[in-house]
Amino acid sequence: MPTQSTPRATALAAATLLLSAALAGCGGSDDSKDEDLSAQKLSWKDCPAPDAAEGGGEAPSPLPGGAEWQCATMKAPLDWSKPKGDTVDIALIKAATSGDKGDRIGSLVFNFGGPGGSGITTLPAFGEDYAKLRTRYDLVSFDPRGVGRSAGIRCEDDSALDTYFQQDSTPDDEAERKKHVDNVREFNNGCEENAGKTLPHVRTTDAARDMDLMRQVLGDDKLHYFGISYGTELGGVYAHLFPKKVGRAVFDAVVDPTETAEQGSLGQAKGFQLALDNFAEDCTSQEADCPVGDTEQDVKDRIAKLLKDLDRKPIRGIPPRELTQTAATNGIAQSLYSKDFWPYLTQGLEEAYEGDGKILMALSDSMNGRNEDGEYSNIQSANVSINCADDKARYDTQYVEKRLPEFRKASPLFGDYLAWGMVGCTDWAVEGQADHPDVSAGGAPPIVVIGNTGDPATPYEGARKMAQALGKGVGVELTYKGQGHGAYDSKNKCVRSAVDSYLLDGTVPTEGTVCS
């Protein structure tokens, strides 16, 4: 739920990794005009520390057993309609299989969502969760074009982003509406200026074609794939473009590919409201008193009052910044991505009611890709750039105002926030590609599609829509009755067993399997 975009889904990494500018434009040159890029040889080396656009931090630690992460750069056409033209550098990361050479299936490529999440930083952060899969696969991920080290787009500097993410994103009158639109326009102009010739070439279809080139360069006949959140949309687009090249594929935290940007935002309003309802129910059903409300409705009423008060007067956040209504809403949404974060939400609300907003602000910073040193990754810049290149719709303030009642009905807390997010692409310099992605993939092998009944960012219904859109005999739906964004990383044994059995042994789960 990035602050100013109209996302189809939000990066799992942004929801999980709590607590200088990226190079824009083309990451390569025109030196491969006569080269067959599918024949290029990757030079794998020890991974450097992530750069600022990827979120910064230290180089990835070795895996259990001492295996080192390796990084490489792949050249891809900047413009896939001109495959012999300029190139863009795509950053890759790999952990070689831990199993016997004879048991190796190939590479398992991960995309963790966003759009805008860095695979270079996220895969090592979750490496131990995929240890069993590494017994038969090399684990591989990448920074998609426009993200991190892959010609990462940077729309504004850190100081400007601090201001941008603090702005009033739920305007109440004409003056506030004008200021909001002006801020979005300034941000978008920065994207255009800094991205240069990369901006028109960061669509999901471009990334899907990059993945097929990646498959060839990695030496695999088929693409074995694990997509999470937006990664399921990317996987669906790949399956549509290259159905005969799909290997074993799993989609988790599934995007509804039939929705427009508006429908996706409305679905998120309902999803985050459901997650908030579940949080309130959980808090008030414990034996100990719920410290943020006496009843479920009281919990939600007190949160609503807090946000209303913050709209009028912010409170102390992380100095020198204050906690605004927008930052608090963003922080609350961040905490709903995983049930593991609910205690942080409880503590953050308790402290905010006493005038201290540092926990909610830290959660908001995590969502926006800001580290403790005040540096931002490019996750939000990339998120907006990719979404706006993908989505054809352009919404103005008059349209949003007409739609506000339905958004408020879907979520009294998040409705305004997500409705006004729809103006994020209004002044975008590049025309959007389509109303929604085409994921029809007749002729592809079975793809396991997992929906989580309590998912706030990619509501459960999207899994069935994806399975249907992939086509008969392709999408195989599995339901997880749980909370949070995604299922595999919940560590639910039923989900893990089904996914592992498919990816490792090829055993397709029974259609309609339910895990709880």
- Please list the active-site residues: 229, 455, 485
C-alpha atoms less than 13 angstroms from C-alpha of 271 in its C-beta half-sphere: 36
In whole angstroms, how far apart are CA 122 and each of 11, 50, 83, 373, 471?
10, 10, 30, 20, 31
- Within 169-320, residue ranges assigned H as helices are 174-195, 204-218, 230-241, 261-285, 296-312
Q: Exposed (0-12), middle (13-18) or buried (19+): which is 236, by Cβ within 10 Å? A: buried
Q: In whole angstroms, give the CA distance from residue 464 to residue 432.
A: 26
Which DSSP letter does residue 47 get? P
Short-list 498, 438, 512, CA closest to 470: 438
Instruction: Tell me the backbone φ, ψ of residue 37, rounded to 5 degrees.
Output: -65, -25
Token pair for 151: 């010609």
Short-list 390, 391, 367, 511, CA closest to 451: 511
Q: In whole angstroms, give the CA distance from residue 158 to residue 474.
A: 44
Q: In whole angstroms, give the CA distance from residue 487 to residue 481.
A: 9
Check whether the bond before 320 is cis (ω within 30° of 0).
yes
